[in-house]
Amino acid sequence: MLGRMAHACIGVEDLEKSVSFYTDVLGMKETERRTLANGTTLVMMNSGGETEVELTYRGQPQAAAPAPRYVGLRHVAFFVSDIDATVKALKEKGVEFYREPGPKGAPARAAFFRDPNGADIELMQK
């Protein structure tokens, strides 16, 4: 019934800061930018394969969100070939991880950090 996932959408407060983070820090490429009739700007970012992230900017600060609940979309995950090298390179660019790569020696390892808007991002190595 369903095909591959089309994209994950992340709402942002500072569009250019977010685009810079996804391009300069994560190495993604901006593939499309358009502004809708209601003023919302959508920017599609691609990681070089089929994975896309849509950054959505509404043009004004958003109301404070209620306390997060453990329901709904929790994070966006990207496969990497060498998680230790990727984490090291991102730390050199100022990314702070709240979960370091682990568990050591496991067949699959993961690490987590947040983008400038607080969206959780997971790196996975199988």
Q: Is the peptide bond before 101 cis (omega within 30 degrees of 0)?
A: no
In whole angstroms, give the CA distance from residue 83 to residue 126: 9
Residue 87 burial (C-beta neighbours within 10 Å; 0-12, 13-18, 19+): buried
Of 95, 118, 83, 117, the closest CA to residue 12 belongs to 117
φ and ψ at residue 84, rounded to 5 degrees: -65, -45
122 is an active site residue: yes
Instruction: Tell the residue number behind the tokens 């930018």, with chain if given.
Output: 33
| Residue of 13, 54, 100, 122 with catalytic role | 122
Catalytically active residues, by annotation: 122
